[in-house]
Structure 1
Amino acid sequence: MFELPDKTTRFFGVFDGHSGSLSATYATSQLPQLLADQLKANSDPAALSPDFYRNAFESAFLLADERFTQKKITSGTTSVCALITKDQLYIAWVGDSKALLVGKRTQLQLVKPHKPENPDERKRIETAGGTVLHAQGQWRVNGILNVARSIGDYSLEAVIAEPDFVDVQLNEAHDFLVLGTDGLWDHVPESLIIETVYDSLADTTMKLDDIPKLLIEAAKERDSQDNITAVVVLLKPRHQIEHL
């Protein structure tokens, strides 16, 4: 669809909009194409370093943010994106959606959420002329937004769309990746998420499409009233993933 030279490339993203669904829907339609355009700008495999992917993600996020302004979309969205190329995993994010990399010997939360009360984010916000206030039970930028970075929200100048980025070399020890919004992570312990996915994969009657639904139901049972999105990405064939 995106005519990338490497046909093994896989992309996954979770977008958690606020003030309605428009921002998440718009980012979903824009960001994959913008990222693909950046990736196609350099087709030399020898030059595809982690820095290349970092720059590609940053350009795509910032271009998507510019288009929000051009379209006069006043709301915004968090974003966590995963790009998998052969044995490399690249994660880029703004906001508080997360990505959990899971294997028998490793369970690694790859995302440090961009929350206004984090010292680094608070300093950046205040330097940009914004304030961090406690309102409606949470720390918020200018008393409004409870994340320090997002795509959109151009009325809040201290809220930026520059993503953070991590890269991980995948190996046979890695089984799956879970992407989710804060409506999942704030209510369901990571240990339960891991156990649920492993148990479901071991159940041959369980369809793969139904596994994220179990995670969403677990969040609802624990009184999550927020948007809840969960994506489970297998990093090897299902029959090769042994029960935990």
Structure 2
Amino acid sequence: MYRSGSCSEIGPKTFMEDEYICVDNLHEHLGTANGFPSPGAFYGVFDGHGGVGAASFARKNILNFIMEDLHFPDGVDRAIKNAFVKADNALADANNIDRSSGTTALTAIMLGRTMVIANAGDSRAVLGRRGRAIELSKDHKPNCTSEKLRIEKLGGVIYDGYLNGQLSVARALGDWHMKGAKGTKCPLSSEPEIQEVNLTEEDEFLIIGCDGLWDVMSSQYAVTVVRKALMMHNDPGKCSRELVCEALNRNTCDNLTVVVVCFSPDPPPRIEIPKSQKRRSISAEGLDLLKGVLNDV
């Protein structure tokens, strides 16, 4: 089963431009017995800029665009990419949304034990795996090497970390004042990067959040906070609130939106430490992290 909790705060900014969506039961949400694996769930965070219009549009429509695509559910990756393009093009045609309004988009869809993360922008998805943080998305900043090469190849420039001196992200939906004709490639891309994961018993929860969180907090710290909190109260909503409060204490400069998704009704188990190592000062989570690092070498 999937269960989630969320927290969204305006933070120190004048306007709130974040949006999010949490659907713990897709079959119940859609009101139909669609032919896709059960359980199914869907989550997303959208960090708007130039107004909340684009972010609000993405929140309301992106799930429907995915479900309506001819490739869903057999070709989930293709369906998601098509949905992002459809949402981007719809923003170009929307008369009630300013062409300078844009949004990052990060979605997570669960079908059975398969989780597919799609990201366009600098929001982030982090998996908690027995205390270790596994990043499932890449922050699309203009100065990121791969994004910088793509931008410059398409004729874009980067000034002080801003795409064409205007935008602090390299991928986003909307922002049609910076894009050319629909269907043409441009430095500001709406194409998401896709990461698919087959969840195992070691995978305990997912954190997705806008950059207001990750600007002041590492992925590993966030996972450690959530795991410890879940062991105490097993409430993903409280976990989201704790991350937001910690980011505010660390003087984040942005809106804050966090969603925590748990993969089990039970809290994470304590990590057993071999008796010969119990007197050492390293924590259980730290020991598990060290094991993971050594296994990856």
Task: Tell me, yes or no, whether TM beats 0.5.
Answer: yes
Matched letter for residue 123 of structure 1: L
Q: Which residue of 2 aligns with 1:127?
A: 153
**Higher relative contact order (CA closer than 8 Å, sequence separation 6+):** 2
Match of 2:175 among 150, 153, 157: 153
- Once residues 124 and 237 of structure 1 are traced to their aligned partners in structure 2, the CA distance between those partners, rounded to angstroms, is 43
* Change beyond 3 A, Cα 1:9–1:190: same
- Once residues 41 and 122 of structure 1 are traced to their aligned partners in structure 2, the CA distance between those partners, rounded to angstroms, is 31
Query: Per-residue deviation at 1:78?
Result: 0.5
User: CA contact under 8 A between 2:127 and 2:133: conserved in structure 1?
Assistant: yes
Query: Per-residue deviation at 1:218?
Result: 0.5
Larger Rg: 2
Match of 1:227 among 234, 249, 255: 255
Match of 2:202 among 142, 155, 173: 173
User: CA contact under 8 A between 1:89 and 1:167: conserved in structure 2?
Assistant: yes
- Once residues 65 and 220 of structure 1 are traced to their aligned partners in structure 2, the CA distance between those partners, rounded to angstroms, is 32
Match of 2:226 among 173, 182, 197: 197
Matched letter for residue 182 of structure 1: D
1:173-226 deviation per Cα after TM superposition (whole angstroms, max 9, x unaligned): 10000000111011022233122212221223x643222011001100000020
User: CA contact under 8 A between 2:131 and 2:223: conserved in structure 1?
Assistant: no
- Map 1:1-244 onto structure 2 (within 5 A): 1-2=29-30, 3=32, 4-6=34-36, 7-38=38-69, 41-42=71-72, 48=74, 52-72=75-95, 73=97, 74=99, 75-104=101-130, 106-134=132-160, 139-157=161-179, 158-204=187-233, 207-239=235-267, 241-243=268-270
Q: RMSD of the TM alignment (CA)?
A: 1.7
Query: Per-residue deviation at 1:105?
Result: 6.0
Q: Which consecutive residues of structure 2, in runs of 5 or more, have no partner in the other structure?
A: 1-28, 180-186, 271-284, 286-297
- Once residues 42 and 182 of structure 1 are traced to their aligned partners in structure 2, the CA distance between those partners, rounded to angstroms, is 29
Query: Per-residue deviation at 1:17?
Result: 0.5
- Once residues 229 and 42 of structure 1 are traced to their aligned partners in structure 2, the CA distance between those partners, rounded to angstroms, is 28
Alignment TM-score, normalising by the size of structure 2:
0.73
User: CA contact under 8 A between 1:105 and 1:173: conserved in structure 2?
Assistant: no
Q: Which consecutive residues of structure 1, in runs of 5 or more, have no partner in the other structure?
A: none
- Once residues 188 and 166 of structure 2 are traced to their aligned partners in structure 1, the CA distance between those partners, rounded to angstroms, is 11
- Once residues 67 and 227 of structure 2 are traced to their aligned partners in structure 1, the CA distance between those partners, rounded to angstroms, is 32
User: CA contact under 8 A between 1:106 and 1:174: conserved in structure 2?
Assistant: no
Query: Per-residue deviation at 1:42?
Result: 4.7
Secondary structure, counterpart of 1:112 in structure 2: coil
* Change beyond 3 A, Cα 1:130–1:86: same
- Once residues 131 and 173 of structure 2 are traced to their aligned partners in structure 1, the CA distance between those partners, rounded to angstroms, is 35
User: CA contact under 8 A between 2:71 and 2:78: conserved in structure 1?
Assistant: no
Alignment TM-score, normalising by the size of structure 1:
0.88
- Once residues 254 and 128 of structure 2 are traced to their aligned partners in structure 1, the CA distance between those partners, rounded to angstroms, is 25
1:77-119 deviation per Cα after TM superposition (whole angstroms, max 9, x unaligned): 0011101111111000100000001121642111111111123
Identity %: 31
- Once residues 130 and 202 of structure 1 are traced to their aligned partners in structure 2, the CA distance between those partners, rounded to angstroms, is 47
- Once residues 129 and 149 of structure 2 are traced to their aligned partners in structure 1, the CA distance between those partners, rounded to angstroms, is 36
